[in-house]
Amino acid sequence: MSEQQSALFPTYARFPITLVKGEGSRLWDDKGNEYLDFASGLAVTNLGHVPEQVKNKLVEQLGELWHVSNLFHIPNQEKLAQLLVQNSCADAVFFCNSGAEANEAAIKLARRYNAKVLGKQRYEIITFHTSFHGRTLATLTATGQDKVKEGFHPLPEGFVYAPYNDADALKSFVTDKTCAIMLELVQGEGGVNPADPAFVQEVVRLCKEHDLLLIIDEIQTGMGRTGKLFAYEHYGIEPDIFTLAKGLASGFPIGAMLGKAKLREAFSAGSHGSTFGGTPIATAAGIATVETMVQDKVPERAAEMGDYFFAELKAKLSGNPLVKQIRGRGLLIGIECTLPASELVPAIHEAGLLVTAAGPNVIRLLPNLLVTREDADKGIALIASVLAQKAAASVQ
Ligand SMILES: *Cc1c(COP(=O)(O)O)cnc(C)c1O
The sheet with strand 26-29 has its strands ordered as 19-23, 26-29, 34-37, 353-354
Output the pLDDT for position 139: 98
Q: Is the pLDDT of residue 301 over 70?
A: yes
Where are the domains positioned within the chain? 19-50+298-394, 52-295
If one residue of 219, 230, 241, 274 were mutated to test the ligand 1 pocket, choosing by the most ligand atoms within 8 A of its CB, it would be: 219
CA 147 to CA 149: how far, in whole Å?
Answer: 6
The ligand 1 atom at the shortest distance from the C-alpha of residue 220 is 15
Output the pLDDT for position 4: 65
Output the pLDDT for position 105: 98
- What is the CB neighbour count within 10 angstroms for residue 5? 6
Annotated ligand binding at 77? The verdict is: no
Between the CA of residue 313 and those of 70, 379, 392, what are the distances in Å?
47, 10, 19
119 Cα: distance to centroid of ligand 1 (angstroms): 31
pLDDT, one tens digit per residue, over 24-71 is 999 999 999 999 999 999 999 999 999 999 999 999 999 999 999 999
- What b-and-e string marks burial along 315-347, b requiring 16 or more CB atoms within 10 Å of the CB? ebbeebebbeebbbbbbbbbbbbebebeebbbe
Output the pLDDT for position 394: 87
216 Cα: distance to centroid of ligand 1 (angstroms): 12
pLDDT, one tens digit per residue, over 80-121 is 999 999 999 999 999 999 999 999 999 999 999 999 999 999
CA 57 to CA 73: how far, in whole Å?
Answer: 20
CATH architecture of 19-50+298-394: Alpha-Beta Complex (3.90)
Rounded average pLDDT over 189-195: 97
The ligand 1 atom at the shortest distance from the C-alpha of residue 218 is 13
Output the pLDDT for position 2: 54
Output the pLDDT for position 36: 99
The ligand 1 atom at the shortest distance from the C-alpha of residue 184 is 13
- Strands 332-337 and 323-329, sheet pairing: antiparallel
CA 109 to CA 264: how far, in whole Å?
Answer: 9
200 Cα: distance to centroid of ligand 1 (angstroms): 21
- What is the CB neighbour count within 10 angstroms for residue 117? 13
Q: Is the pLDDT of residue 316 over 80?
A: yes
Annotated ligand binding at 329? The verdict is: no
Q: Is the pLDDT of residue 378 over 60?
A: yes
Residues with CB under 6 A from ligand 1: 98-100, 103, 132-134, 184, 188-189, 217, 219-220, 245-246
pTM score: 0.98
CA 181 to CA 187: how far, in whole Å?
Answer: 15
Rounded average pLDDT over 354-359: 97
CATH 3.40.640.10 for domain 52-295, yes or no, is yes
Annotated ligand binding at 132? The verdict is: yes
pLDDT, one tens digit per residue, over 226-285 is 999 999 999 999 999 999 999 999 999 999 999 999 999 999 999 999 999 999 999 999
The sheet with strand 332-337 has its strands ordered as 323-329, 332-337, 362-365, 356-358
- pLDDT confidence bin for 395, thresholds 50/70/90: confident
Mean pLDDT (the chain) is 97
